[in-house]
Each structure stands twice: as C-alpha cells, then as structure tokens.
Amino acid sequence: MKTINVGVIGMGWMGTVHSRSYASMRDRFFDGGVLPNLVMCADNVEARLEEAQARFGFAETSTNWMDVINHPDIDAVSITSPNFLHREMVMAAVAAGKHVMCEKPIGLLPDDVAACYKAAKEAGLMTFTGLNYRWVPLVQYAKNMIDSGQLGEITNYYGRFFAMYASDPLGMLSWRFLKEEAGTGALGDLMPHAADMAQFLAGPIKRVTSTTQTVVTERPLPVPGRGTHFSKGQPGDPTGAVTNEDYVGAMFEFDSGARGTIEISRAIFGPKVENRFEIYGTKGAIRWNFETMDELEIYLPDGSNAHDGFTRILASPDNPFYSRFQPGPGNNMSYDDLKVVEAYHFLKSIADGEQLEPSFKSAYEFAQVHDAMMRSWESGAWEDVRDI
C-alpha cells in the first residue's frame, strides 16, 4: 500500500469535496493500492481552515497557500481556488515538483490551460482535473457500449447542461460572474463538463459554431469571505455588473463526421443540474441525465416491431465503480461519490507512475474547443478546433 501526502488549497465547496473524497478513499478504495495522508490545507479565510481541520483531520493549516507548495512532505496538491488563481498556483506546484490536481477550467482562458498542461508535462508530473461526470457508472457503461460498437456508427450527439444557480437575479455577484476572476462564465464553468462528455463518448470535435448571452446583467454585491455562488442577496442591496456570459449554444462536427449540438445555461429556470446527453447511432441510441444519474435509457431494437422502444435500466454492481458504493442495483449514488472515484484515479496515477485520464491533457482538449467557441462568438462563423 502506497501513501501519498496531500495538500488542498481553497477550502470552499470544492476544497471540502476534495478533502472528503481523500478521506473517503480509506473506505471506498481500501484495497486500491494507494491511500492519502491529509497533511495541510490552505485558505485565506481562517474560519474555513478551522472547520476543515475539524472535519477532515488535516495535520496543519495555513492562510498562505505557498506553505502547501513549499511543504517538504507534500507529494500532491489539489487546487480548488477560484479560476483566476489556478495558473499561478499550478505553476508554483509544478516548480516545486508536486503532482497537481486542479479543478476545471484550470485558469481563466484556454491559454492558461495550455500553459499549465505543457509545464506539468515537461516536468514529468502527474496531473488530474475535475471532469467528474465521466465517473458515473452508467456513463462508463455507455462508453463501453459505444466503444464495443453496440450503437453502430455514431451519427448525432445532443448535449445540455442547464443549471439553476444563477437563475435568481438576487444570486450574489460571486467571483464566477466576473471576467477578471472567472474568465468566461458558463463556458468555463459548465461547458467543460458538457463538451468533455461529448469528446469522451463520441470522439474529438473538429469544428464549431457558437452563440452566447448574458441573461442577468446586475447582481447584489457579496460579503467578502462568506457564501458561495448559491448565496442570495436582498432586494435593494448594492449591485455590480455581471461581466461574463450565462448561456452558450453550440453546433459542431466531430472528426468522425457525426453532428452535434450543446446548450448550457447557469441561469435557466426549472432544471437544477440537468447535465444530459442523447447519442444516436446506426444500430441504437442512449439517453442520460445527471438529475437521475443511476438511470440510462437504451434503444437497441431486436428487429421485431413488437419490441421497439427505449428501455430504462438502473445502475447495478455490474457497472464500473458502482459496487464501491452500493451492494445492490437501484440504490442511488451521489455527486460526491464521483469525486471519490476521481481522487482515487489521481493518486493511482502517482502511485503507479502511469497517467490516467482526465488529466490536464483532457482539460487542454476541451480548452481547444473553448477557444474555437470564443472565436466563433467574434466571427459569427464556423471555427476549426486547433492547437493553442
């Protein structure tokens, strides 16, 4: 059994989830050949450190994130800070020889992702990123179905990530709504998940055309150090301008020739986390929605018109990773379980010296699509996906 000494930087929503995931590995992946030791966490808000230490048992804490980077015992760092800090933190971790897990989108813009990917690769370090929806057991099963040819040749991909977190105009103006702190809006926040899913399941995207919109243009100013992007202000609170987009729509062509569309919004009214895909092939089709993540609809006609329609299956221990969490079919898993699978694959990469995905390479492959979508907003035309 190998032990990897871990540090976590940024103890908000994701820092808490990463820490809980490392702590859960002892239970869920006890026989996985690698376990974490939580050495130090950092946040500039002191109260978050006290809470994190009490909850997850970090040996040390610091309000200076460089203490994590410079800690001689730490092998691997999780970076879960706001986007504008990612590049500086990743580069410092790489310079200090630490393996690094950084939440998507890895910086503000595609250039940042490319720089981080290239620096870590050159240094020979293991990397990972939070494209966590890949780890849903039925998504893994869907990938196996596609790769083994059960759906035939893929002809059409339909993706969507409709989230509600910015649908209320009283939702506070957190860092996510500011170009200087988040980079793009929904494009950097939700599209990494939606477009990565498309590329994971149906292969590389070749060219795109895209449109965008900001729905809520002013929001209440937040109280520094408190709240998340789910927090609300009050009517009459002072407001500030939203400087990035709420919505992105895109149409694209895959290298394979298949056609696809994706729509994402952080300000939709109704759906909560409707991260969904529909994939159509020449022999069958599948449909999935994260809101019911342990259900997959499968269309595999047997040739008889009497039995011709979608069948709904429920996740079971025969699907990848499911039995780590539930012993019998139909017992639902949760978002946080996906992050435990993710944490395991990051530490497994380090323990075995073999890079598993989604690493910074996968993030870079999305960044190329991100870049083409932004170019399309400017040109109003189809844009090729190309190197950055």
Report the interface residues with ligand NAD, using CB under 6 A. Answer: 9-15, 42-45, 48, 65, 80-83, 85, 103-104, 130, 132, 189, 228
Give 29 or 65: the residue with its C-beta nearer to ligand NAD: 65
Give 7 or 281: the residue with its C-beta nearer to ligand NAD: 7
Give 10 or 284: the residue with its C-beta nearer to ligand NAD: 10
Q: In the bound complex, what is the minimum distance in angstroms from residue 149's beta carbon to ligand NAD?
A: 31
Give 15 or 284: the residue with its C-beta nearer to ligand NAD: 15
Give 185 or 281: the residue with its C-beta nearer to ligand NAD: 185
Amino acid at 200: F
Q: In the bound complex, what is the minimum distance in angstroms from residue 12's beta carbon to ligand NAD?
A: 2
> Distance (Å, rounded) from C-alpha 222 to C-alpha 219?
9
Amino acid at 70: N
Q: In the bound complex, what is the minimum distance in angstroms from residue 229's beta carbon to ligand NAD?
A: 6
Give 109 or 285: the residue with its C-beta nearer to ligand NAD: 109
Contact 195, 262 (CB under 8 A): yes
Q: In the bound complex, what is the minimum distance in angstroms from residue 230's beta carbon to ligand NAD?
A: 9
> Distance (Å, rounded) from C-alpha 1 to C-alpha 3?
7
Q: In the bound complex, what is the minimum distance in angstroms from residue 87's beta carbon to ligand NAD?
A: 11
Q: In the bound complex, what is the minimum distance in angstroms from residue 16's beta carbon to ligand NAD?
A: 8
Q: In the bound complex, what is the minimum distance in angstroms from residue 249's beta carbon to ligand NAD?
A: 21
Give 53 or 81: the residue with its C-beta nearer to ligand NAD: 81
Q: Which residue is nearest to ligand NAD (CB)?
A: 12
Q: In the bound complex, what is the minimum distance in angstroms from residue 380's beta carbon to ligand NAD?
A: 28
Contact 171, 108 (CB under 8 A): no
Give 155 or 212: the residue with its C-beta nearer to ligand NAD: 212
